[in-house]
Each structure stands twice: as C-alpha cells, then as structure tokens.
C-alpha cells in the first residue's frame, strides 16, 4: 500500500488505497453530479456577489469548486478531478482563503463549519447534492454522463447522502495538518486572492 502524502492524520476505519481511491472517485462524482441536478440552486441572482463590497473581486469566468483544504477526502477528490481532466478550465479554491470565505458569508453559509462544498458556475452557487452534480458536469465523459444520471436521484435523497458522508468524512478519511496548496504545475487551476 502506497503511503499518503506527509501531513495527513488518518481515520482508523479506511486505509486501503484502492478502496480509498474508489470512494474518493465516487464521492467526487456524486458531488459533481449534485451540482447539475434538477435541484434548485441556492436562491440568488447570478453574480450577486459582484455587488457585495465584502466579496473581493476575482475571475469568475469559469466554474470554481470551493473545497476544504484540510479534508483528505476533499483534497483527494480535487486531485482526482485534475488527473481526469487536465485541460479543463474548472478552477479550485480552498475555503481557508479570503475569497471563498467571503463567498460563503455572502450566501449565508458558515465557512468555519464547512458543511458543504460549493461549485460556483456562471455566477450561481450549487451546494450539497446539486454541487456534486455541478462538479461532474465540468468533467469530460463519462463523468458528465453520470451527472445527467444523477438527476434521477431526488434532491432529498441526494442531500441526505451528501450530509451523511460530510458528517463522517474527517473520521473516515482523516484531515491534514496543513491546508492543501497547489503545486507549481497546479497553480493555474487554483483561484488565488
């Protein structure tokens, strides 16, 4: 079994790298699929954050996936997405940075509790199950197709599944001692303040 990168504290239940990779892929695809579900996004007009002086200006011309940089599952999911779609314009941002935190405050979310990741696409935020589907829609096939299939799952079920995994993610997969930061090769894919 290949060890994980330094700086991780591991959960005691899951440590098999193959199972871990499969679960990360499934949860990432599920998270992506959620974003593109028939669920209604958070009630807000597109690009409403542009009028909020508390949200610093940033390049929102492509989808942005906001994730917890201390969560091993979240960081692994982002790495998984980048490996499978190296030419994508989708960008990533850690909730520990100022712009994502300001976006969470703008939409009434608690950045410290981080109970959902967010996909910001065309100025519209998607969270929980619809966020998973939105993330999947940013990917090439077959993941984009899985997002379409994910729409068949009612939001109430998808959101409950998402919430269950979210509540247990740190216990199952562990957390990092330091926030995930992009490598030199990944910097173009990350939102920087």
Q: Is there a contact between 95 and 69 (Cβ–Cβ < 8 Å)?
A: yes
> Does residue 41 carry a pLDDT above 60?
no
Residue 2 lies inside a defined structural domain of this protein: no
149: in domain: yes
pTM for this structure? 0.77
Confidence of residue 174 (pLDDT cuts 50, 70, 90): very high
Helix (H, G, I), strand (E, B) or coil at 8: strand
Predicted pLDDT at 43? 62
| Cα–Cα separations (whole angstroms), residue 167 to 11, 29, 103 | 13, 18, 22
3 in any annotated domain: no
Average pLDDT, the chain: 82
81 φ/ψ angles, rounded to the nearest 5 degrees = -60, -45
| 186: in domain | no
Residue 115: give the domain boundaries: 8-179
For residue 84, the model assigns a pLDDT of 92
Cα-Cα-Cα-Cα dihedral sign, residues 99, 70, 158, 79: positive
List the beta strands (DSSP E) in 7-164. 8-9, 64-67, 91-94, 118-121, 124-127
**pLDDT higher than threshold 60 for residue 3:** no
* Proportion of the chain above pLDDT 90, given as a percent: 66
Banded model confidence at residue 32, pLDDT cuts 50, 70, 90:
very low
Q: Using pLDDT thresholds of 50, 70 and 90, give the confidence band for residue 87.
A: confident
Residue 191 inside a domain? The answer is: no
Question: Quick count: other Cβ atoms within 10 Å of Cβ 61?
Answer: 9
pLDDT band, residue 192 (cuts 50/70/90): confident
Domain-embedded: residue 189: no
**pLDDT tens by residue, 95-145:** 999 999 999 999 999 999 998 999 999 999 999 999 999 999 999 999 999
Rounded-to-integer distance, Cα 191 and Cα 153, Å: 31
* Structure confidence at residue 189 (pLDDT): 93
Is residue 61 a part of any domain in this protein?
A: yes
Quick check: 51 pLDDT over 90? yes
Q: Quick one: which H or E segment has residue 172?
A: helix 155-173
What is d(CA 72, CA 91) in angstroms, rounded to the nearest whole number?
18
| Range in 15-19, 107-111, 160-164 the model is least confident about | 15-19
Residue 75 lies in a domain: yes
Question: How many structural domains is the chain composed of?
Answer: 1
């Amino acid at each position: 079994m290949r060890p994980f990168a330094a700086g991780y504290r591991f959960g005691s239940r899951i440590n098999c790298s193959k199972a871990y990779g499969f679960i990360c892929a499934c949860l990432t695809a599920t998270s992506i699929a959620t974003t593109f579900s028939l669920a209604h996004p958070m009630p807000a007009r597109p690009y409403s954050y542009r009028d909020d002086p508390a949200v610093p200006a940033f390049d929102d011309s492509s989808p942005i996936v906001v994730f917890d940089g201390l969560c091993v599952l979240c960081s692994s999911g982002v790495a998984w997405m980048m490996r499978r779609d190296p030419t994508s314009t989708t960008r990533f941002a850690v909730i520990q940075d100022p712009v994502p935190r300001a976006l969470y405050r703008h939409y009434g979310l608690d950045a410290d509790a981080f109970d959902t990741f967010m996909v910001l696409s065309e100025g519209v935020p998607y969270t929980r199950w619809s966020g998973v589907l939105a993330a999947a829609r940013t990917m090439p096939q077959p993941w984009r197709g899985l997002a379409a299939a994910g729409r068949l799952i009612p939001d109430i079920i998808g959101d409950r599944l998402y919430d269950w995994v979210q509540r247990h993610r740190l216990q199952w997969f562990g957390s990092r001692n330091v926030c995930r930061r992009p490598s030199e090769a990944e910097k173009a894919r990350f939102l920087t303040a």
